[in-house]
Structure 1
Amino acid sequence: LNELLNWSKTWGMLFNPSKCKILSITRSHIPVNFNYNLDGVILERVEQFKDFSVVFNHNLSFTSHIDSLIAKCNCVCGMIKRSVGCHAPQKVKIQLFKSLARPILEYSSQVW
């Protein structure tokens, strides 16, 4: 981390230590927790972290990520239903689903 900090100072790309987090990924039931610091500030340890709209947790289980995707898609499907109603042609509803809800489900699916 010190080398990374030196590089960032050299190139004028300073890190904000309050936005940096520690996420230890391990299978161990009793992980070894070490306090990391960046520029004298001890970094916060978290159990899960959201990066590029993908939720990662300490054991790489994507359950919380999938739950958030389901919630987002339910909101979008409800909005579609309220907007076009039940009597809209099926072709319109399918097109709306493919353009609004499906991208939420497919975004970064290769990661999880």
Structure 2
Amino acid sequence: LQQWSNTWLLKFHPKKCKVMTFGRSGHQYQYMMTSPDSGTTILTRTTAEKDLGVIFDPGLAFRVEIQGRVKKANNIMDIIQRMYIHLDIVSFKLLVTALVRSHLEYGALIWFPRQMSKP
């Protein structure tokens, strides 16, 4: 990765880079990067990382991600219930579709993909 970044002039900041291993591999290698000041930095290991708004974990279970999305949707539902005391079904459906559904569906193709059926 270091050679690739030097070739394409895309520099990584070693203090902002982390390492996460996916799967059941028991190997815990130590990774290092060279700093712009020619020092060597050991990259920190993480067990969860947010990328494009989705929290990834080593087992790709997405439990933290799903719990966070459900909590946010429930909070918005509570706000809707408190703000609108007399709400008809059409208005309620519009509010839920506009405010809640988008939070629940964001990144769903990543954290809840369809299972491929085997022939």
- 1:92 partner letter: S
Q: Secondary structure at the match of 2:108?
A: coil
Where do 5+ consecutive residues of structure 1 fail to align?
none
Note if 1:88 corresponds to 2:83.
no
Q: Which residue of 2 aligns with 1:32?
A: 27
Note if 1:4 corresponds to 2:4.
yes
CA RMSD of aligned residues (A): 1.4
Kindly state the Cα deviation for residue 26 of structure 1 after the two structures are TM-superposed. Answer: 1.7
Q: Which residue of 2 aligns with 1:73?
A: 73
- TM-score using structure 2 length: 0.81
Q: Which residue of 1 aligns with 2:46?
A: 46
Note if 1:23 corresponds to 2:55.
no
Where do 5+ consecutive residues of structure 2 fail to align?
35-39, 112-119
| CA offset digits 1:37-75 (Å, max 9, x no partner) | 122211110111111111111111111111011111111
Kindly state the Cα deviation for residue 4 of structure 1 after the two structures are TM-superposed. Answer: 3.0
Partners of 2:4 and 2:95 in 1: how far apart?
Answer: 45
Partners of 1:3 and 1:99 in 2: how far apart?
Answer: 46
Using the TM superposition, name which of 92-101 and 15-24 deviates more.
15-24
Partners of 2:72 and 2:53 in 1: how far apart?
Answer: 12
Partners of 1:75 and 1:7 in 2: how far apart?
Answer: 48
